């Protein structure tokens, strides 16, 4: 299996369709306060026009389990991605219905809370934290920490682009990669050529390592 590719921060069908045509495995809808936030009705309209094989991931932060599930059902999400401090009771409620991704902030020097790797979720997303903010920072963390981790369920985000993803995939073999701000013209508006170049770079790295 090749590297799982997610393009996050989708706000339009055109951008989502380009990601699908390029060969991405998933797109992400940010359903929590963010410059890239999309309303559930907008996400549902985009989801309805996309092939079923393209996974849709909903990004949430401090919402309740009931609100998350209601939104996920309404849109038709494939997975749920949780940000903020991990909430064991929330994870316990959600995992029965959806595959879960828990985002863990990582300092640029590679420091993070290792205990969070033991959370009972399908995937852990490591995302660069800058000034207490993670997601959309456009900065990478020290990928060398991945050498000491089991990468089989790790998704790497934070400053990932067509210019550096080859090094990430060939050198560290994470389960997946997640790109957002480096593929944008403006927050929530994707550069279609950058999407295509990013996916092509990942697939090229997959072939090199096979």
Q: What is the CA radius of gyration of the chain?
A: 16
Chunked into runs of 10 residues, the chain (210 residues) has average pLDDT values of 95 98 98 96 98 97 96 98 94 96 93 88 92 72 94 95 96 97 95 98 88
**What domains, with CATH codes, occur in the chain?**
4-209 (3.20.20.70)
In this structure, what token pair is assigned to residue 179? 């790109």
Q: Is 60 helix (H, G, I), strand (E, B) or coil?
A: strand
* Distance from chain centroid for Cα 18: 17
Q: Is the Cβ–Cβ distance between 128 and 157 less than 8 Å?
A: yes
Residue 76 is predicted with a pLDDT of 98
Q: How far apart are the first and last CA of the chain?
A: 10
Round to whole Å and give the CA distance between 63 and 68: 6
Residue 115 is predicted with a pLDDT of 81
Q: How far is CA 208 from CA 83, 107, 144, 203, in A?
A: 33, 30, 20, 9
In this structure, what token pair is assigned to residue 140? 């990478």
Residue 169 is predicted with a pLDDT of 97
- Nearest 5°: CA angle at 105, between 99 and 109? 140
Q: Is the Cβ–Cβ distance between 51 and 32 less than 8 Å?
A: no
Residue 97 is predicted with a pLDDT of 95
Selection from 37, 87, 41 nearest residue 62 by Cα:
87
Query: Between β-strands 189-190 and 4-7, what pairing exists: parallel, antiparallel or unpaired?
Result: unpaired
Selection from 28, 100, 29 nearest residue 65 by Cα:
100
Residue 136 is predicted with a pLDDT of 64
Q: Is 173 helix (H, G, I), strand (E, B) or coil?
A: coil
CA 18, 22, 23, 28 torsion: positive or negative?
A: negative
Find the helix packing angle between 40-48 and 13-22, rounded to 10°. 40
């Amino acid at each position: 299996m090749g590297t799982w590719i997610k393009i996050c921060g989708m706000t339009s069908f055109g951008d989502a369709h380009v990601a699908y045509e390029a060969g991405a495995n998933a797109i992400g809808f940010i359903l929590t306060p963010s410059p890239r936030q999309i309303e559930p009705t907008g996400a549902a309209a985009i989801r309805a026009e996309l092939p079923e094989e393209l996974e849709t991931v909903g990004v949430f932060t401090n919402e309740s389990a009931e609100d998350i599930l209601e939104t996920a059902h309404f849109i038709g999400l494939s997975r749920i991605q949780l940000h903020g401090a991990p909430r064991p009771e929330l994870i316990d409620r959600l995992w029965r219905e959806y595959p879960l991704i828990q985002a863990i902030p990582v300092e640029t020097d590679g420091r993070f809370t290792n205990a969070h790797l033991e959370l009972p979720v399908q995937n852990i997303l490591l995302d660069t934290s800058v000034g207490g903010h993670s997601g959309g920072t456009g900065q990478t963390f020290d990928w060398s920490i991945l050498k000491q981790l089991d990468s089989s369920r790790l998704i790497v985000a934070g400053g990932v682009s067509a210019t550096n993803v080859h090094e990430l995939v060939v050198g560290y073999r994470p389960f997946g990669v997640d790109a957002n701000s480096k593929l944008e013209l403006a927050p929530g508006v994707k550069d279609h050529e950058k999407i295509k170049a990013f996916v092509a770079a990942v697939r090229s790295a997959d072939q090199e390592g096979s």
